[in-house]
Chains A and B, each alone.
Chain A
Amino acid sequence: MAEHAVDESVRDVGGRATRLLAAGRGAPLLWLHDTRGNRWTPGHDRLAERYRVLAPSLPGFDDSTTLGRIDEPEDVVFWLLELLAVLGLERPALLGCGLGGWLAAEFAVRYPERLRRLVLVDAYGLQVEGALAEDEFALTPPLLRPLVFVDPDGPLAREWLPDAEPPERLEPALHARVAAARLAWQFPYSPKLRGRLPRARVPALVVWGERDRLVSPAHARAYVDGLPDARLALIADVAHYPYLEAPEQFATAVERFLG
């Protein structure tokens, strides 16, 4: 599906072998993936028309036996500091989806000066009263698809969240599930993050699928209310994956914000 040539490489990030997908030219845009792992999506492709999109695999996602002492989001924040050094990135835009959005927010409240822009997409991370995210680890694909895709029986949903992974995808999918559960098991948030959001003094865009039933738009509003300089892009007729279900609208919103 990639319209751009996607470079794949493995970098040593603080002793962790880190797979990096990269394409496009322009200002650097660091993309942190969601719980299902590091896959190039139509959203990546669309943004690579204008930016240098850099998509690293989060620790343990490609091989969960290397999770080591990744125990909480802060451990990933330290890994991100190393990653910026390895990639020689000065104040990149940081975009995070779902779990990656939570980690991006954790980074931003600690090191806002290291970022040019922050983009959060249907992000985990906040404790919002009455709006606990659904338990993705408890739900089989047929139960989960209607929460994260507006058309749960369509080809897009079936490709990205099949009832059973095809043989070549099975092992990577299992590793990603383990790495995701390490951080996002049952309560995918840090109780203290919401109180720390005012520290993230960097322009932020909160992108959300209006029909996300995994992490409801109540979380989007909580991010926008808590961040000191944030605007909201709520995308209609999209659920948890705007970059899969509406890549054009998604990319347009991001481009408008990043310039």
Chain B
Amino acid sequence: MRFYMFHLMPWPHLPEGFSQTHDTAWVVCENTLYDPVKGHEVYNRYLDELELADQLGFDGVCVNEHHQNAYGLMPSPNIMAACLARRTTRARLVILGNVLTLYDHPLRVAEEIAMLDVISGGRVVSGQVVGTGNEFFSYNVNPTYARERYYEAHELILKAWTEPGPFPWEGTHYRFRYVNVWPRPYQQPHPPIWIPGSGSRETIEWVARKRYTYMVLPTLAPYALRAATAEQFRAACEANGYTARHEQIGWGIGIYVAETDAQAVAEYEPHFWYYAKNLLRNRDTFNSPPGHSSVRSTLGVLEARRKGRPGNFRTWEEIQQGGFVVVGSPATVRDRLKEIALHTGLGTLIPNFSVGNVPHHLTRKSVELFAREVMPALRDVNVDEPPAVSHQSPDERPPVATQQPSAVAER
């Protein structure tokens, strides 16, 4: 199993009683609630936490893209990855992902990811997403074109990375007379591609066909739902004539480790509720704009999603029993993750340690305990090929930049 620390970079300073006064943390949540001076501290603290993961031997660090909200403060994940590229040496830089649909110039994504890949010596993973419904409101992109734009942008970016330029692109949503991206990516033919998905059958089948890595979302969902999604993905790979590799199954999940189970829950729970009650607070309209998913899949997903939303839960027992997060002592977390791994086949673990408004010292402690007492025992679980990064202690490991460009792409 490999470990990629994910950071959501939430805004931790929402006022007391936010969930009583606001119906959403997105789109129209007033930006006067953002304090740039506190923001300076928040950004730098969060980047410190990802840099720590690099030092502690995580295989990668993950950033993502959301706009105009308190939930995640990275409108440009590529800027965050650029900050990290020069301050980390070993970890993969996982952009999870770029919201392709938002850009009238997908070539900008092709260029920036190639830049990051070259600067980092081939450490980039390119995640590519349709985007949450909210982004279509915030960026005025017509959601009824979401899927068309996404697939076309993806094909354009792949072709820009892999075929000699210049060439013309005459698509439905994008037209470029001259596609000729400089620089070309360091990893050849292109960086690995990960696709986060929240269970839509259409996406699962597409990712399986392309042999990319599928990251099971949403990050906060009951265990049973995510296990079923992973199983659907494995079945889709079989239907495409191959068995999914472990590393093709990614799993984003909230994790918190402390000295004992009781201490872990006591330290984690208040910050979990800040996340569930405030940051996930949203209108159905913003979550599901028309056309963002097909009517067929909307009919199936809408009701299940509404019932399963963690904001609708009231007690920690419901969260614990549903398996939304993995929280406990090192032994508890280790055993639970091993059980999940063996049951679902997942080989790409994407833990999110920094929940809601959890303070830095607790995140730091949790990440350190995880790296020291959980990771080593799981390293050899669900490994299906020699990993790109060696597993020596961090100090002895050569930087990836001196290694051969990795071939972990989806070939």
Chain B: minimal CB distance from A145 (Å): 13
Instruction: List B contacts of A170 (CB < 8 A).
Output: 299
Instruction: List A contacts of B286 (CB < 8 A).
Output: 138
Does A78 touch B at the CB level, under 8 Å? no
Q: Which 8 A-B pairs have the closest CB atoms?
A: A181-B290, A177-B290, A178-B290, A178-B291, A182-B144, A174-B295, A185-B142, A181-B144
| Residue of chain A at shortest CB distance from B298 | A174
Instruction: List A contacts of B28 (CB < 8 A).
Output: 138
Does B140 touch A at the CB level, under 8 Å? yes
Chain A interface residue bracket vs B: 20 to 34
Chain A: minimal CB distance from B139 (Å): 10
Instruction: List B contacts of A137 (CB < 8 A).
Output: 137, 285, 289-290
Residues of B within 8 A of A (CB): 27-28, 137, 140, 142-144, 283-286, 289-291, 294-295, 298-299
Inter-chain contact A185/B283, CB cutoff 8 Å: no
Please name 28 pairs of A and B residues whose Cβ atoms are closer than 8 Å in the assembled complex, sorted by A. A64-B291, A64-B295, A65-B295, A135-B137, A137-B137, A137-B285, A137-B289, A137-B290, A138-B27, A138-B28, A138-B137, A138-B285, A138-B286, A139-B285, A140-B283, A140-B284, A140-B285, A171-B299, A174-B295, A174-B299, A178-B144, A180-B290, A181-B143, A181-B144, A181-B289, A182-B142, A186-B137, A187-B140
Interface centre among B27, B286, B290, B295 (most CB of A within 10 A): B290
Chain A: minimal CB distance from B69 (Å): 14
Chain B: minimal CB distance from A167 (Å): 10
In the bound assembly, the distance between CA atoms of A186 and B286 in angstroms comes to 13
Instruction: List B contacts of A67 (CB < 8 A).
Output: 144
| Residue of chain B at shortest CB distance from A185 | B142
In the bound assembly, the distance between CA atoms of A177 and B298 in angstroms comes to 12
Instruction: List B contacts of A65 (CB < 8 A).
Output: 294-295
Does A175 touch B at the CB level, under 8 Å? yes
In the bound assembly, the distance between CA atoms of A135 and B290 in angstroms comes to 13
Instruction: List B contacts of A182 (CB < 8 A).
Output: 142, 144, 291
Chain A: minimal CB distance from B321 (Å): 28
Instruction: List A contacts of B299 (CB < 8 A).
Output: 170-171, 174
In the bound assembly, the distance between CA atoms of A144 and B104 in angstroms comes to 31
Chain B: minimal CB distance from A166 (Å): 14
A186/B140 contact (C-beta < 8 A), A138-B27, A171-B299 known: yes
Interface of chain A, main secondary structure: helix
Instruction: List B contacts of A178 (CB < 8 A).
Output: 144, 290-291, 295
In the bound assembly, the distance between CA atoms of A139 and B284 in angstroms comes to 9
Chain B: minimal CB distance from A2 (Å): 27
Instruction: List B contacts of A186 (CB < 8 A).
Output: 137, 140
Instruction: List A contacts of B298 (CB < 8 A).
Output: 174
Chain A: minimal CB distance from B138 (Å): 11
In the bound assembly, the distance between CA atoms of A185 and B27 in angstroms comes to 15
Instruction: List B contacts of A64 (CB < 8 A).
Output: 144, 291, 295
Chain A: minimal CB distance from B130 (Å): 15
- A174-200 CB contact bits vs B (8 Å, 1 = yes)? 110110111001110000000000000
Chain B: minimal CB distance from A85 (Å): 28
Instruction: List A contacts of B144 (CB < 8 A).
Output: 64, 67, 178, 181-182, 185
Instruction: List A contacts of B143 (CB < 8 A).
Output: 181, 185
Inter-chain contact A175/B142, CB cutoff 8 Å: no
Chain B: minimal CB distance from A58 (Å): 14
In the bound assembly, the distance between CA atoms of A240 and B171 in angstroms comes to 39
In the bound assembly, the distance between CA atoms of A136 and B373 in angstroms comes to 52
- A52-72 CB contact bits vs B (8 Å, 1 = yes)? 000000000000110100000
Chain A: minimal CB distance from B29 (Å): 13
Chain A: minimal CB distance from B323 (Å): 29
| Residue of chain A at shortest CB distance from B286 | A138
In the bound assembly, the distance between CA atoms of A101 and B283 in angstroms comes to 29
Interface centre among A65, A185, A186 (most CB of B within 10 A): A185
Chain B: minimal CB distance from A180 (Å): 7
In the bound assembly, the distance between CA atoms of A138 and B289 in angstroms comes to 8
Instruction: List A contacts of B284 (CB < 8 A).
Output: 140
Inter-chain contact B283/A181, CB cutoff 8 Å: no
Inter-chain contact A181/B291, CB cutoff 8 Å: yes
| Residue of chain B at shortest CB distance from A170 | B299
Chain A: minimal CB distance from B173 (Å): 10
| Residue of chain A at shortest CB distance from B136 | A185
Instruction: List A contacts of B289 (CB < 8 A).
Output: 137, 181
A153-181 residues at the B interface, CB under 8 angstroms: 170-171, 174-175, 177-178, 180-181
Instruction: List B contacts of A180 (CB < 8 A).
Output: 290
| Residue of chain A at shortest CB distance from B291 | A178
Instruction: List B contacts of A139 (CB < 8 A).
Output: 285
In the bound assembly, the distance between CA atoms of A137 and B291 in angstroms comes to 11
In the bound assembly, the distance between CA atoms of A85 and B298 in angstroms comes to 36
Chain B: minimal CB distance from A14 (Å): 20
In the bound assembly, the distance between CA atoms of A177 and B28 in angstroms comes to 21
Having A138-B283, A182-B291, one finds 15 other A-B pairs with CB under 8 Å, namely A64-B291, A65-B294, A65-B295, A67-B144, A137-B137, A137-B285, A137-B289, A138-B286, A170-B299, A174-B298, A178-B291, A180-B290, A181-B291, A185-B140, A185-B143
For B142, give its contact among A140, A171, A181 (CB under 8 Å): A181
Instruction: List B contacts of A135 (CB < 8 A).
Output: 137
Instruction: List A contacts of B295 (CB < 8 A).
Output: 64-65, 171, 174-175, 178
In the bound assembly, the distance between CA atoms of A242 and B289 in angstroms comes to 27
In the bound assembly, the distance between CA atoms of A34 and B284 in angstroms comes to 22
Chain A: minimal CB distance from B392 (Å): 52
Instruction: List B contacts of A140 (CB < 8 A).
Output: 283-285
In the bound assembly, the distance between CA atoms of A64 and B297 in angstroms comes to 13
In the bound assembly, the distance between CA atoms of A135 and B291 in angstroms comes to 16
In the bound assembly, the distance between CA atoms of A178 and B299 in angstroms comes to 13
In the bound assembly, the distance between CA atoms of A175 and B295 in angstroms comes to 7
| Residue of chain B at shortest CB distance from A70 | B144
